[in-house]
Chains A and B, each alone.
Chain A
Amino acid sequence: MVQIFRPGADTIARIVLFAIPTVPVLAVGFAYSLWHSPYATAQDVTREQPVPFSHEHHVGGLGIDCRYCHTSVEKAAFAGLPPTQTCMSCHSQIWTNAPMLAPVRASLAEDRPIEWQRVHNLPGYVYFNHSVHVAKGVGCTTCHGPVQTMKLIRQAAPLTMGWCLDCHRNPAPSLRPHEAVFDVDWQPPENQAEVGARLAKERHIASPQRLSECSICHR
């Protein structure tokens, strides 16, 4: 009887048999890596802005407080973007003819807000409130990274739900004394575990029971 298959067919059969269990696992692993990568999360991506506003210069260099521009961060869900008038509180006096600031002057003259490109964008079904995080002692740089070093602002954290939960399930390492919340140079002390646990208790932060409930963020 004539052979149906050549000897090489055995190798193909072995490869196929090996692939049946391994390929699905690898495919899931690949999909997960992709979904976790900056390609999907937009982490560390800088966006082109109408004016190349530098946090490095204004925060790191000049030492302007976060709240000078983001005025509602202690009181509202949205931290607030400054109106053109806030920029002009200085730039009506200094760098008044800088070409880089032309869009800012045009914005004031035409009474039209500058269209900043949003960098930190949460889905609509996520309820996020800046004020409660500030009130409970989560510092700006904990989530936004070292903004005092960023020439253009970028998303320092992945902003995935898993990243939110990392802190909601274990907030102690991220809690600061109230006076340090807006301190961009704050570093956790040696005994942060102890301090954080005490702060969590004092501030009635019920984690993980309460903070990992679905309805905390999905209302």
Chain B
Amino acid sequence: MSARQHHKWIAPKRLGYAEISAAVSDPIQRGGPGRAWFIALLGILPLVLATFIAVGAVLTVGIGLSGVNTTVVWGFSIANYVWWIGIGNAGTLISSMLLLTRQGWRASINRFAEAMTLFAAAIAGIFPVIHLGRPLYAYWLAPYPNTMELWPQWRSALVWDFWAIASYILFSLIFWFTGLLPDLATMRDRAQTRTGQVVYGALALGWRGSARHWAVYETFHKTMAALAVPLVCSVHSIVGLDFAASLMPGWQESIFPPYFVVGAMYSGFAMVVMLAIVIRWGLSLQSMITPAHFDAMAKVMLFASIVMTFSYATEWFMAWYGGEHADRTVIGYFFTGDYRWLYFSLLFCNCLVPQLLWFRAVRLNLWLLAAIAIVINLGMWLERILIVWNTLSHGYAISLWRTYHVSLYDVVILIAPLGLFVLGFLVLARILPIVSMHEVRQLAHREGAAA
């Protein structure tokens, strides 16, 4: 613990309840957006525009804009989908699992981690739809009463995806709103304008902070957290089943669901670290997000990295041990085929680089940590695209072996949605408390900083 830092999870010696509320809510209610905010907004607007153009183009022109062909029928859309939903996994994971395991330090990061979940899952939801080929029939995934007397095809992984994502987004939204309730009341009470009072007041649902309110709230929130745990696991397991339920070599592996869940936690935590660094700097929250937070998150990433490495190794081992010719051929293709350099990059990003996190100095150096988080997210995207490409390019029928050719549209739908993601945070930071005030107050109390 450095000399400046008096408590592990709260930096200053004294941080009163009012100071916490002021630090989080004043930038929204008493300060303007600031120059950095406007620069960021201008910076990402072209990306937001590009997202709309790309999505509009694929809806009007069709899936031919993508680099997919008759062999590699999945491409960037699927990889992006898995990547985004993976990022979306960590928010609720942090909120629920860390809440249930009584990790009080989550208070400083859970709010924006949950917002990250919402934005990432919503962005992820775009990709299966624009990949449909007939996106206008996307609603056929829902079992609604219709004159055709048809139900969705329950054996289709696409339908499982629909339920997994829809229930996850809906749940995350309610969970996020539940956690927000006491803070909305704080915002209402501190509002400077009549509009602020009414809007925050309406959203706060009449929260008065009575003992009974808190008792009901705690019970409800903990129950929701307990419900969230299976959902966090199910959402990415289902994504894993999209692949594992097929008959393709390299996909039909029973390790896929857990391996996908850990991968999601891995990339999700990397994204939370990135967000924490930016938000801590942008909103001057050094008092609540401390080096100990980054230390803890870095350890989670290190752990996930080791599990991922083990999963890759299991994949290779099982192909060899199972003895199935096609499986062995595909694993061989990983290392010697058309995409081998991407595969080596993946191993470098996901397995090698994060080993730096064994060193405390690295865990506490925010520049290095940010770099590692970016590398991990890059590696995790490579992993997803290679799962798609390697298997599809090198399936059972040798006459169909073919590689993927990246199109301009592919590049745009890979990069541009990041702008949408940042836009979500820029807007959110201006209207809602980006850090959970009431939970940080609790944390400050427990750390002895509020007394």
Contact = CB atoms under 8 A, between A and B. Distances in A.
Interface in B179-195: 188
Given A4-B201, A161-B150, A10 B145 contact: no
Contact of B146 (A9, A10, A13, A32): A32
A13 B150 CA distance: 37
B197 A32 contact: no
A207 to B, nearest CB: 15
Nearest to A32: B145
B140 to A, nearest CB: 13
B149 A28 contact: no
Interface in A1-24: 4-5, 9-10, 13
Interface residues of B, number: 14
A160 B148 CA distance: 6
B147 to A, nearest CB: 4
Interface string B348-375: 0000000000000000000000000000
B401 interface: no
Interface in A34-59: 35-36, 40-41
Interface in B131-159: 144-150
Nearest to A28: B144
Contact of B147 (A4, A5, A9, A35): A35
B335 to A, nearest CB: 42
A82 interface: no
A28 B147 contact: no
Nearest to B201: A4
Nearest to B149: A162
A9 B204 CA distance: 13
A162 B148 contact: yes
B45 to A, nearest CB: 32
Given A32-B146, A36-B147, A165-B149, A4 B206 contact: no
Contacts of B150: 161
Nearest to A162: B149
A52 B98 CA distance: 77
Contacts of A145: none
A10 B202 CA distance: 10
A158 interface: yes
Contact of A32 (B144, B198, B206): B144
Contact of B198 (A4, A35, A158, A163): A4
B408 interface: no
Given A35-B147, A161-B147, A13 B197 contact: no
B202 A13 contact: yes
Contacts of A41: 147
Interface residues of A, number: 19
Majority secondary structure, A binding face:
helix
A71 to B, nearest CB: 32
Contacts of A13: 202, 205-206
B411 to A, nearest CB: 36
A10 B206 contact: yes
Contacts of B149: 161-162, 165-166
Contacts of B205: 13
A5 B145 CA distance: 41
Interface string A163-182: 10110000000000000000
A40 B145 CA distance: 15
A139 B144 CA distance: 33
Contact of B148 (A4, A9, A28, A161): A161
Contact of A28 (B145, B197, B202, B206): B145
Contacts of B144: 28, 32
A162 B201 CA distance: 48
Nearest to A31: B144
A160 B147 contact: yes
A13 B149 CA distance: 37
Which of B148, B188, B197 has the most CB atoms of chain A within a 10 A radius of its CB?
A: B148
Interface string A117-147: 0000000000000000000000000000000
A4 B150 CA distance: 50
Nearest to A17: B205
Contact of A162 (B146, B188, B197, B198): B146
Contacts of B145: 28-29, 32
> Which of A9, A158, A166 is the most central at the interface, judged by chain B CB atoms within 10 Å of its CB?
A9
A10 B205 CA distance: 9
20 contacts: A4-B197, A4-B201, A5-B201, A28-B144, A28-B145, A29-B145, A32-B144, A32-B145, A32-B146, A32-B147, A35-B146, A35-B147, A40-B147, A41-B147, A160-B148, A161-B148, A161-B150, A162-B147, A162-B148, A163-B147
Interface of A: 4-5, 9-10, 13, 28-29, 32, 35-36, 40-41, 158, 160-163, 165-166
Interface of B: 144-150, 188, 197-198, 201-202, 205-206
When A and B form their complex, which 6 residue pairs have the shortest distance between CB atoms, in order from nearest?
A: A162-B149, A160-B147, A161-B148, A32-B145, A4-B197, A4-B201
Given A4-B198, A32-B144, A165-B148, 6 more contacts: A9-B202, A32-B147, A35-B147, A158-B147, A162-B147, A165-B149
